[in-house]
Amino acid sequence: MYAQMIKTARSGVKNREEMSDQEREFQDRIDRDEKIEPKDWMPDDYRATLIRQMGQHAHSEVVGQLPEGNWITRAPTLERKAILLAKVQDEAGHGLYLYSAAETLGESRDELVRLLHEGRMKYSSIFNYPTLNWADIGAVGWLVDGAAIVNQVALQRTSYGPYSRAMIRICKEESFHARQGYHAIMQMAFGTPAQKAMAQDAVNRLWFPAIMMFGPNDSESTHSEQSMAWKIKVKSNDELRQQFVDQTVPQIEYLGLDLPDPGIKWNEERGHYDFSDPDWNEFFDVIKGNGPCNVDRLKDRVDAWEDGAWVRDGLLAHARKKSARTAAE
Amino acid sequence: MSNEWPLWEIFIRGQHGMSHRHVGSLHAPDAEMAIKNARDVYTRRNEGVSIWAVEAVHIAASSPEEKGPLYEPSNSKVYRHPTFFDIPDEVGSM
Protein backbone atom coordinates (compact mmCIF):
# COMPACT_ATOMS: atom_id res chain seq x y z
CA MET A 1 0.00 0.00 0.00
CA TYR A 2 1.23 3.52 0.63
CA ALA A 3 3.15 1.71 3.32
CA GLN A 4 4.50 -1.55 1.95
CA MET A 5 6.66 -4.22 3.52
CA ILE A 6 6.98 -2.44 6.84
CA LYS A 7 9.30 -4.55 8.93
CA THR A 8 7.89 -4.94 12.39
CA ALA A 9 10.76 -4.51 14.78
CA ARG A 10 10.40 -8.19 15.73
CA SER A 11 9.31 -11.30 13.90
CA GLY A 12 6.47 -13.45 15.13
CA VAL A 13 3.89 -12.46 17.71
CA LYS A 14 4.63 -12.35 21.41
CA ASN A 15 2.27 -14.62 23.31
CA ARG A 16 0.78 -13.59 26.63
CA GLU A 17 3.26 -15.64 28.66
CA GLU A 18 6.18 -13.80 27.06
CA MET A 19 4.68 -10.38 27.81
CA SER A 20 5.47 -8.23 30.80
CA ASP A 21 2.54 -6.97 32.90
CA GLN A 22 2.76 -3.64 31.13
CA GLU A 23 2.73 -5.28 27.71
CA ARG A 24 -0.24 -7.43 28.64
CA GLU A 25 -2.18 -4.40 29.82
CA PHE A 26 -1.27 -2.64 26.55
CA GLN A 27 -2.46 -5.60 24.47
CA ASP A 28 -5.72 -5.68 26.44
CA ARG A 29 -6.33 -2.04 25.58
CA ILE A 30 -5.75 -2.79 21.90
CA ASP A 31 -8.07 -5.80 22.06
CA ARG A 32 -10.77 -3.61 23.61
CA ASP A 33 -10.34 -1.24 20.62
CA GLU A 34 -9.10 1.57 22.82
CA LYS A 35 -6.97 4.10 20.99
CA ILE A 36 -3.37 4.51 22.08
CA GLU A 37 -2.41 8.17 22.51
CA PRO A 38 1.04 9.82 22.26
CA LYS A 39 1.83 10.02 25.96
CA ASP A 40 0.55 6.52 26.80
CA TRP A 41 3.03 3.77 27.56
CA MET A 42 3.72 1.59 24.51
CA PRO A 43 6.22 -1.15 23.67
CA ASP A 44 9.35 0.16 21.92
CA ASP A 45 8.67 -2.09 18.92
CA TYR A 46 5.14 -0.69 18.57
CA ARG A 47 6.55 2.83 18.52
CA ALA A 48 9.33 1.95 16.06
CA THR A 49 6.99 0.09 13.70
CA LEU A 50 4.49 2.95 13.72
CA ILE A 51 7.14 5.56 12.98
CA ARG A 52 8.31 3.46 10.06
CA GLN A 53 4.80 2.92 8.72
CA MET A 54 3.54 6.49 9.16
CA GLY A 55 6.81 7.84 7.81
CA GLN A 56 6.64 5.70 4.69
CA HIS A 57 2.99 6.62 4.26
CA ALA A 58 3.86 10.34 4.53
CA HIS A 59 6.73 9.99 2.06
CA SER A 60 4.36 8.30 -0.40
CA GLU A 61 1.93 11.22 -0.25
CA VAL A 62 4.70 13.68 -0.96
CA VAL A 63 6.55 11.71 -3.64
CA GLY A 64 3.14 10.91 -5.14
CA GLN A 65 2.85 14.57 -6.11
CA LEU A 66 5.63 14.17 -8.67
CA PRO A 67 4.01 11.95 -11.31
CA GLU A 68 0.90 14.16 -11.24
CA GLY A 69 2.69 17.48 -10.94
CA ASN A 70 4.28 16.47 -14.21
CA TRP A 71 0.93 17.09 -15.95
CA ILE A 72 -0.36 20.24 -14.26
CA THR A 73 1.00 22.53 -16.96
CA ARG A 74 -0.19 20.21 -19.71
CA ALA A 75 -3.73 19.48 -18.57
CA PRO A 76 -6.17 19.55 -21.51
CA THR A 77 -8.42 22.30 -20.12
CA LEU A 78 -8.21 25.05 -17.53
CA GLU A 79 -10.79 23.25 -15.41
CA ARG A 80 -8.81 19.99 -15.43
CA LYS A 81 -5.70 21.96 -14.55
CA ALA A 82 -7.39 23.59 -11.56
CA ILE A 83 -8.74 20.21 -10.42
CA LEU A 84 -5.35 18.54 -10.71
CA LEU A 85 -3.70 21.40 -8.88
CA ALA A 86 -6.19 21.02 -6.02
CA LYS A 87 -5.59 17.29 -5.90
CA VAL A 88 -1.83 17.65 -5.79
CA GLN A 89 -2.18 20.27 -3.07
CA ASP A 90 -4.28 17.78 -1.09
CA GLU A 91 -1.44 15.26 -1.34
CA ALA A 92 0.93 17.76 0.27
CA GLY A 93 -1.61 18.18 3.05
CA HIS A 94 -1.92 14.42 3.47
CA GLY A 95 1.84 14.16 3.78
CA LEU A 96 1.73 16.83 6.46
CA TYR A 97 -1.03 15.10 8.49
CA LEU A 98 1.04 11.93 8.48
CA TYR A 99 4.35 13.57 9.35
CA SER A 100 2.52 15.31 12.21
CA ALA A 101 1.17 11.98 13.42
CA ALA A 102 4.70 10.53 13.34
CA GLU A 103 6.01 13.56 15.21
CA THR A 104 3.71 12.80 18.14
CA LEU A 105 6.01 9.82 18.76
CA GLY A 106 9.06 12.05 19.02
CA GLU A 107 10.45 11.64 15.52
CA SER A 108 10.88 14.99 13.79
CA ARG A 109 9.69 15.61 10.25
CA ASP A 110 13.12 16.82 9.18
CA GLU A 111 14.64 13.58 10.46
CA LEU A 112 12.14 11.48 8.48
CA VAL A 113 12.82 13.54 5.37
CA ARG A 114 16.55 13.07 5.88
CA LEU A 115 16.11 9.29 6.10
CA LEU A 116 14.10 9.33 2.87
CA HIS A 117 16.71 11.41 1.09
CA GLU A 118 19.49 9.10 2.25
CA GLY A 119 17.56 6.15 0.83
CA ARG A 120 17.03 4.68 4.28
CA MET A 121 13.24 4.99 4.15
CA LYS A 122 10.97 4.12 1.27
CA TYR A 123 7.76 5.28 -0.36
CA SER A 124 5.17 3.28 -2.26
CA SER A 125 6.44 1.36 -5.29
CA ILE A 126 3.63 2.78 -7.46
CA PHE A 127 5.25 6.20 -7.73
CA ASN A 128 8.26 4.74 -9.48
CA TYR A 129 6.15 4.26 -12.61
CA PRO A 130 5.96 7.10 -15.12
CA THR A 131 2.86 9.08 -16.15
CA LEU A 132 3.31 9.12 -19.91
CA ASN A 133 0.18 10.95 -21.02
CA TRP A 134 -3.05 12.54 -19.84
CA ALA A 135 -4.91 9.23 -19.65
CA ASP A 136 -2.39 8.13 -17.03
CA ILE A 137 -3.42 11.04 -14.82
CA GLY A 138 -7.04 9.90 -14.90
CA ALA A 139 -5.98 6.31 -14.27
CA VAL A 140 -3.75 7.30 -11.36
CA GLY A 141 -6.58 9.18 -9.64
CA TRP A 142 -9.02 6.37 -10.20
CA LEU A 143 -6.83 3.28 -9.65
CA VAL A 144 -3.98 4.46 -7.42
CA ASP A 145 -6.06 6.67 -5.16
CA GLY A 146 -8.80 4.04 -5.35
CA ALA A 147 -6.37 1.45 -4.01
CA ALA A 148 -5.17 3.90 -1.38
CA ILE A 149 -8.75 4.47 -0.22
CA VAL A 150 -9.32 0.74 0.28
CA ASN A 151 -6.27 0.63 2.52
CA GLN A 152 -6.95 3.89 4.30
CA VAL A 153 -10.59 3.16 5.07
CA ALA A 154 -9.37 0.06 6.92
CA LEU A 155 -6.67 2.10 8.67
CA GLN A 156 -9.23 4.49 10.12
CA ARG A 157 -9.58 1.76 12.76
CA THR A 158 -5.86 1.54 13.45
CA SER A 159 -4.93 1.50 17.13
CA TYR A 160 -2.79 4.64 17.27
CA GLY A 161 -5.06 7.67 17.82
CA PRO A 162 -3.17 10.30 15.79
CA TYR A 163 -2.72 7.88 12.86
CA SER A 164 -6.39 6.95 12.93
CA ARG A 165 -7.45 10.60 12.98
CA ALA A 166 -5.14 11.41 10.07
CA MET A 167 -6.72 8.54 8.11
CA ILE A 168 -10.24 9.76 8.79
CA ARG A 169 -9.35 13.20 7.52
CA ILE A 170 -7.52 11.84 4.49
CA CYS A 171 -10.38 9.50 3.52
CA LYS A 172 -12.79 12.44 3.47
CA GLU A 173 -10.63 14.19 0.90
CA GLU A 174 -9.54 11.13 -1.04
CA SER A 175 -12.84 10.30 -2.67
CA PHE A 176 -12.56 13.56 -4.61
CA HIS A 177 -9.27 12.19 -5.97
CA ALA A 178 -10.71 8.91 -7.16
CA ARG A 179 -13.83 10.50 -8.63
CA GLN A 180 -12.01 13.20 -10.57
CA GLY A 181 -9.74 10.49 -12.00
CA TYR A 182 -12.61 8.24 -13.03
CA HIS A 183 -14.42 11.24 -14.51
CA ALA A 184 -11.39 12.12 -16.62
CA ILE A 185 -11.08 8.52 -17.83
CA MET A 186 -14.81 8.37 -18.58
CA GLN A 187 -14.48 11.30 -20.93
CA MET A 188 -11.74 9.51 -22.81
CA ALA A 189 -13.34 6.08 -22.78
CA PHE A 190 -16.53 7.58 -24.24
CA GLY A 191 -14.60 9.89 -26.56
CA THR A 192 -12.95 9.32 -29.92
CA PRO A 193 -11.45 5.89 -30.75
CA ALA A 194 -7.99 7.39 -30.22
CA GLN A 195 -8.94 8.67 -26.77
CA LYS A 196 -10.49 5.34 -25.88
CA ALA A 197 -7.30 3.58 -26.94
CA MET A 198 -5.30 5.87 -24.67
CA ALA A 199 -7.59 5.08 -21.74
CA GLN A 200 -7.22 1.36 -22.43
CA ASP A 201 -3.45 1.65 -22.63
CA ALA A 202 -3.29 3.51 -19.31
CA VAL A 203 -5.41 0.89 -17.57
CA ASN A 204 -3.32 -1.92 -19.07
CA ARG A 205 -0.07 -0.39 -17.86
CA LEU A 206 -1.21 0.72 -14.40
CA TRP A 207 -3.33 -2.27 -13.37
CA PHE A 208 -0.57 -4.54 -12.08
CA PRO A 209 1.45 -1.75 -10.44
CA ALA A 210 -1.81 -0.71 -8.71
CA ILE A 211 -2.55 -4.15 -7.29
CA MET A 212 1.09 -4.44 -6.21
CA MET A 213 0.45 -1.46 -3.93
CA PHE A 214 -1.05 -3.79 -1.33
CA GLY A 215 2.29 -5.54 -0.93
CA PRO A 216 3.27 -9.22 -1.23
CA ASN A 217 0.86 -12.11 -0.74
CA ASP A 218 0.01 -12.87 2.87
CA SER A 219 2.05 -16.09 2.68
CA GLU A 220 5.13 -13.98 1.90
CA SER A 221 4.33 -11.15 4.25
CA THR A 222 6.38 -12.27 7.22
CA HIS A 223 6.23 -9.08 9.22
CA SER A 224 2.49 -8.58 9.31
CA GLU A 225 1.51 -10.75 12.25
CA GLN A 226 2.67 -8.53 15.09
CA SER A 227 1.38 -5.44 13.29
CA MET A 228 -2.03 -7.11 12.98
CA ALA A 229 -1.98 -8.10 16.67
CA TRP A 230 -1.23 -4.49 17.55
CA LYS A 231 -3.83 -3.27 15.04
CA ILE A 232 -1.22 -1.07 13.37
CA LYS A 233 -2.41 -2.99 10.33
CA VAL A 234 -6.08 -3.85 10.28
CA LYS A 235 -6.59 -6.05 7.23
CA SER A 236 -4.16 -8.33 5.41
CA ASN A 237 -2.58 -7.48 2.06
CA ASP A 238 -4.59 -10.13 0.19
CA GLU A 239 -7.88 -9.14 1.80
CA LEU A 240 -7.40 -5.52 0.77
CA ARG A 241 -6.25 -6.46 -2.74
CA GLN A 242 -9.33 -8.64 -3.26
CA GLN A 243 -11.57 -5.83 -2.09
CA PHE A 244 -9.94 -3.45 -4.56
CA VAL A 245 -10.27 -5.89 -7.47
CA ASP A 246 -13.91 -6.59 -6.63
CA GLN A 247 -14.83 -2.93 -6.60
CA THR A 248 -12.76 -1.97 -9.65
CA VAL A 249 -13.66 -4.63 -12.21
CA PRO A 250 -17.26 -3.40 -12.65
CA GLN A 251 -15.90 0.15 -13.02
CA ILE A 252 -13.67 -0.99 -15.89
CA GLU A 253 -16.60 -2.80 -17.49
CA TYR A 254 -18.79 0.30 -17.25
CA LEU A 255 -16.20 2.18 -19.30
CA GLY A 256 -16.45 -0.46 -22.02
CA LEU A 257 -12.74 -1.15 -21.73
CA ASP A 258 -11.14 -4.59 -21.89
CA LEU A 259 -10.05 -6.06 -18.59
CA PRO A 260 -6.29 -5.57 -18.22
CA ASP A 261 -5.77 -9.15 -16.98
CA PRO A 262 -7.16 -12.20 -18.85
CA GLY A 263 -7.17 -13.99 -15.48
CA ILE A 264 -9.97 -11.78 -14.13
CA LYS A 265 -13.07 -13.94 -13.80
CA TRP A 266 -16.03 -13.97 -11.45
CA ASN A 267 -15.79 -16.90 -9.08
CA GLU A 268 -19.32 -17.83 -8.06
CA GLU A 269 -18.16 -20.11 -5.28
CA ARG A 270 -15.92 -17.55 -3.57
CA GLY A 271 -18.20 -14.63 -4.35
CA HIS A 272 -15.14 -12.71 -5.56
CA TYR A 273 -13.24 -12.08 -8.76
CA ASP A 274 -10.25 -14.31 -9.44
CA PHE A 275 -7.27 -12.48 -10.88
CA SER A 276 -3.65 -13.08 -11.81
CA ASP A 277 -0.74 -12.32 -9.55
CA PRO A 278 1.38 -9.41 -10.64
CA ASP A 279 5.01 -10.12 -11.44
CA TRP A 280 6.39 -10.16 -7.91
CA ASN A 281 9.98 -10.12 -9.16
CA GLU A 282 9.23 -6.77 -10.74
CA PHE A 283 7.72 -5.58 -7.46
CA PHE A 284 10.78 -6.52 -5.42
CA ASP A 285 13.03 -5.00 -8.05
CA VAL A 286 11.15 -1.68 -7.92
CA ILE A 287 11.27 -1.72 -4.11
CA LYS A 288 15.02 -2.27 -4.33
CA GLY A 289 15.38 0.90 -6.37
CA ASN A 290 15.32 -0.41 -9.92
CA GLY A 291 11.92 0.82 -11.12
CA PRO A 292 11.64 3.07 -14.16
CA CYS A 293 11.62 6.30 -12.11
CA ASN A 294 13.26 5.60 -8.72
CA VAL A 295 16.35 7.67 -9.42
CA ASP A 296 14.43 10.65 -10.80
CA ARG A 297 11.88 10.69 -8.01
CA LEU A 298 14.47 10.76 -5.26
CA LYS A 299 16.56 13.32 -7.10
CA ASP A 300 13.53 15.60 -7.51
CA ARG A 301 12.76 15.35 -3.80
CA VAL A 302 16.34 16.07 -2.75
CA ASP A 303 16.58 18.98 -5.20
CA ALA A 304 13.31 20.47 -3.95
CA TRP A 305 14.56 20.22 -0.37
CA GLU A 306 17.92 21.76 -1.14
CA ASP A 307 16.58 24.45 -3.47
CA GLY A 308 14.06 25.46 -0.81
CA ALA A 309 16.66 25.73 1.97
CA TRP A 310 17.20 29.46 1.50
CA VAL A 311 13.47 30.10 1.90
CA ARG A 312 13.24 28.05 5.09
CA ASP A 313 16.37 29.62 6.53
CA GLY A 314 15.40 33.13 5.48
CA LEU A 315 11.94 32.96 7.04
CA LEU A 316 13.37 31.56 10.25
CA ALA A 317 16.06 34.26 10.41
CA HIS A 318 13.36 36.89 9.89
CA ALA A 319 11.20 35.39 12.64
CA ARG A 320 14.14 35.33 15.07
CA LYS A 321 15.11 38.90 14.31
CA LYS A 322 11.54 40.04 14.79
CA SER A 323 11.13 38.30 18.13
CA ALA A 324 14.52 39.64 19.32
CA ARG A 325 13.37 43.15 18.41
CA THR A 326 10.06 42.69 20.27
CA ALA A 327 11.92 41.37 23.32
CA ALA A 328 14.25 44.39 23.29
CA GLU A 329 11.38 46.89 23.24
CA MET B 1 20.94 26.27 16.44
CA SER B 2 18.50 23.96 14.69
CA ASN B 3 17.06 25.24 11.46
CA GLU B 4 13.89 23.25 11.89
CA TRP B 5 10.76 25.41 11.98
CA PRO B 6 8.94 25.17 15.31
CA LEU B 7 5.81 23.05 15.66
CA TRP B 8 2.43 24.74 16.07
CA GLU B 9 -0.86 23.23 17.21
CA ILE B 10 -3.83 24.42 15.21
CA PHE B 11 -7.36 25.02 16.48
CA ILE B 12 -10.25 25.82 14.18
CA ARG B 13 -13.74 27.10 14.85
CA GLY B 14 -16.34 26.00 12.35
CA GLN B 15 -19.37 27.96 11.25
CA HIS B 16 -22.00 26.68 13.62
CA GLY B 17 -21.15 28.37 16.87
CA MET B 18 -18.94 25.56 18.14
CA SER B 19 -15.79 26.33 20.10
CA HIS B 20 -12.32 26.07 18.56
CA ARG B 21 -11.26 22.46 18.16
CA HIS B 22 -7.80 20.96 17.77
CA VAL B 23 -7.35 19.80 14.16
CA GLY B 24 -3.65 18.99 13.95
CA SER B 25 -0.25 20.57 13.82
CA LEU B 26 2.20 22.06 11.36
CA HIS B 27 5.59 23.73 11.17
CA ALA B 28 6.01 27.45 10.61
CA PRO B 29 8.70 30.03 11.33
CA ASP B 30 6.32 32.41 13.13
CA ALA B 31 2.70 32.96 14.14
CA GLU B 32 1.73 34.78 10.98
CA MET B 33 3.00 31.97 8.76
CA ALA B 34 1.45 29.39 11.09
CA ILE B 35 -1.97 30.91 10.42
CA LYS B 36 -1.37 31.12 6.68
CA ASN B 37 -0.19 27.51 6.57
CA ALA B 38 -3.13 26.44 8.73
CA ARG B 39 -5.48 28.08 6.25
CA ASP B 40 -3.88 26.11 3.41
CA VAL B 41 -3.71 22.82 5.26
CA TYR B 42 -6.79 22.70 7.44
CA THR B 43 -9.44 24.87 5.76
CA ARG B 44 -9.27 23.83 2.11
CA ARG B 45 -12.94 22.84 2.22
CA ASN B 46 -14.51 25.60 4.29
CA GLU B 47 -13.85 23.83 7.56
CA GLY B 48 -13.49 27.01 9.55
CA VAL B 49 -14.05 30.69 10.11
CA SER B 50 -11.43 31.24 12.82
CA ILE B 51 -7.94 29.85 13.39
CA TRP B 52 -5.84 29.74 16.55
CA ALA B 53 -2.18 28.75 16.33
CA VAL B 54 -0.26 27.93 19.50
CA GLU B 55 3.37 26.97 19.54
CA ALA B 56 3.44 23.35 20.69
CA VAL B 57 6.06 23.99 23.41
CA HIS B 58 3.60 26.26 25.19
CA ILE B 59 0.98 23.55 25.66
CA ALA B 60 0.89 21.90 29.05
CA ALA B 61 -0.71 18.46 29.08
CA SER B 62 -1.91 16.15 31.82
CA SER B 63 -0.14 12.85 31.96
CA PRO B 64 -1.98 9.58 31.32
CA GLU B 65 -0.38 7.87 34.35
CA GLU B 66 -2.08 10.33 36.68
CA LYS B 67 -5.47 9.59 35.16
CA GLY B 68 -6.76 7.86 38.31
CA PRO B 69 -5.93 10.48 40.98
CA LEU B 70 -6.56 13.41 38.60
CA TYR B 71 -10.16 12.51 37.87
CA GLU B 72 -10.98 10.86 41.20
CA PRO B 73 -12.80 13.93 42.59
CA SER B 74 -15.41 13.74 39.85
CA ASN B 75 -15.71 9.95 39.88
CA SER B 76 -16.76 9.95 43.50
CA LYS B 77 -19.53 12.52 43.05
CA VAL B 78 -22.25 10.68 41.21
CA TYR B 79 -24.84 13.11 42.57
CA ARG B 80 -23.55 15.66 40.06
CA HIS B 81 -25.46 13.79 37.37
CA PRO B 82 -29.18 14.56 37.09
CA THR B 83 -30.06 10.85 36.81
CA PHE B 84 -28.93 10.43 40.45
CA PHE B 85 -32.25 11.86 41.54
CA ASP B 86 -35.47 9.90 41.15
CA ILE B 87 -38.27 12.32 40.41
CA PRO B 88 -41.79 10.83 40.16
CA ASP B 89 -43.33 10.78 36.68
CA GLU B 90 -46.33 12.79 37.94
CA VAL B 91 -44.07 15.83 38.35
CA GLY B 92 -43.53 15.94 34.59
CA SER B 93 -40.30 16.52 32.77
CA MET B 94 -37.54 18.28 34.66
Is A93 within 8 Å of B29 when comparing Cβ atoms?
no
CB of A306 less than 8 A from some CB of B: no
Question: Is residue A72 classed as helix, strand or coil in its secondary structure?
Answer: helix
Query: Above 80 in pLDDT, residue B56?
Result: yes
Residue B21 phi/psi, 5-degree rounding, is -135, 140
Is B27 within 8 Å of A109 when comparing Cβ atoms?
yes
B64 → chain A, closest CA residue:
A40
ipTM value, please give it: 0.85
> How far away is chain A from the Cα of B28, in angstroms, using its nearest Cα?
8
What DSSP assignment string belongs to A131-186? --SHHHHHHIIIIIHHHHHHHHHHHTT-SBHHHHHHHHHHHHHHHHHHHHHHHHHH
| Beta-bridge partners for B55 | B8
A-chain CB neighbours of B45 within 8 Å are 173
A108 → chain B, closest CA residue:
B4
CB of A114 less than 8 A from some CB of B: no
Report the pLDDT averaged over residues B62-85.
Answer: 84
Q: Which of A189, A166, A185 has its CA nearest to residue A177?
A: A185
Over the Cα atoms of chain A, what is R_g? 21
In this predicted structure, what is the pLDDT of residue A220? 86
Taking the CB of residue A31, how many other CB atoms lie within 10 A of it? 11
CA distance linking residue A206 with residue A309, whole number of Å? 35
Q: How far is the first Cα of chain A from the last one, in angstroms, to the nearest whole number?
A: 54
Which of B4, B24, B40 is closest, CB to CB, to A97?
B24
Is A103 within 8 Å of B24 when comparing Cβ atoms?
no
**Angle of helix A294-307 relative to helix A309-328, nearest 10 degrees?**
30
- Is-above-0.90 flag for pTM? yes
pLDDT, tens digit, 9 for 90 and up, residues A124-161 = 999 999 999 999 999 999 999 999 999 999 999 999 99
In this predicted structure, what is the pLDDT of residue A251? 98
Q: What is the torsion angle, in degrees rounded to the nearest 10, for the CA atoms of residue A176, residue A3, residue A219 and residue A49?
A: -140
B-chain CB neighbours of A39 within 8 Å are 61, 63-64
Is A110 within 8 Å of B4 when comparing Cβ atoms?
yes
User: pLDDT band at residue A297, thresholds of 50, 70 and 90?
Assistant: very high
Report the pLDDT averaged over residues A150-179.
Answer: 95
Report the pLDDT averaged over residues A265-271.
Answer: 97
User: pLDDT band at residue B1, thresholds of 50, 70 and 90?
Assistant: low
pLDDT, tens digit, 9 for 90 and up, residues A241-261 = 999 999 999 999 999 999 999
Q: How many A/B residue pairs have CB atoms within 8 Å?
A: 50
pLDDT, tens digit, 9 for 90 and up, residues A178-204 = 999 999 999 999 999 999 999 999 999
Report the pLDDT averaged over residues A5-11.
Answer: 64
pLDDT, tens digit, 9 for 90 and up, residues B10-37 = 999 998 888 999 999 999 999 999 999 9
Enclosing H/E stretch for A243 = helix A237-254
Query: Above 80 in pLDDT, residue A8?
Result: no
CA distance linking residue A83 with residue A68, whole number of Å? 11
> How far away is chain B from the Cα of A115, in angstroms, using its nearest Cα?
15
